[in-house]
Structure 1
Amino acid sequence: MKSADLLLDLFERVGEAVHGAVEGLSEEELATRIDEDANSIAWLVWHLTRIQDDHIAGVFDTEQVWTEDDWQSRFGLPFGKNATGYGHSSKQVGQVRASADLLLGYYDAVHARTLEHVRSVSDADLDRVVDDSWDPPVTLGVRLVSVVAEDNQHAGQAAYVRGVVERRPT
């Protein structure tokens, strides 16, 4: 198995988890916060997708899907075009509201772009330094694993919130 094949499988698993957390929920359910400062499913999925979009575009020197395909306007969020959710306040988390179709449409577009880039990665490419502002510098391999790890963590959090939301009395 080549490294690219392993990475493709990891990103596919993220996609399955994201779809499992979002599909079939209403906008209200996606925006539910299990306490006043908790992250909603909508925010978690938007954030993990924004981070993936930002990081993949950065390491492959392409424009983000967010701006290239005008997802920023479709979401209509009150944040700057470069916002990814990193460092968001509780109030900002609450401002992320979106339908399942919108969240999954953006996620699927970023996912497709990610797979397109990752398919082209050779084992040697994984040692390429993509961020020298860290000590040690960050390689492509480390950045891709970091994206998968963060995506999985947030997709798992979204699945947990979904479980709580679905078990609440109506």
Structure 2
Amino acid sequence: MSGVPLLGAVNRALLALAGLVLLAAGISVLTASWPFGGPNAPLLRRRWHLEGGWWWVVFAALALCVLLALWWLTAQLRRSRLAALAVDTGDGGFAVLRGRALESAVAAEVSALDGVARCRVALRGRRGAPTLRVALELEPHAVPADALAALAGPVLTHARTSAGLPALPTEARLKITPHPAQRVA
């Protein structure tokens, strides 16, 4: 499981490198520094003879593509999980609580509940306003209301007090594990 973030970082780095290469090639072709003609004959003017008013549509579409690519790149570089929280120690100082540690503690408590088959927890948001996303996979015999009440009660209360947070908004997604039909003989 620890290899997944590294793979994501490599993926992002390779995509950024490919984007930079393509951007450099595109600028080179449009400014005619590519061997398609001299400095007085840019590729677009030489090939399509940009006469008339349709040329602005081409450049607007290219600008839109560049803006969408930049938006996508910033979305890829943005972290989806909160790395750490600052916890007030009570003596005027702060301690750093790693986000993965809080996620693991909540997941361990939830997984110990009756009827929970599997649990995934993600700490998101900002340091000042963290939120939890909890995905519960319940066993077929489990009562969803009981699992949700146990999560909302002691588990989240313990997480809030441990992290020193006045509130910890939580989104819970419940899924029931399918089971094969039983045959009656």
TM-score by length of 2: 0.23
Q: Select the structure that is richer in strand.
A: 2
Bigger radius of gyration among the two: 2
> Higher relative CO (CA 8 A, sep ≥ 6), structure 1 or 2?
1
Q: Select the structure that is richer in helix.
A: 1
TM-score by length of 1: 0.25
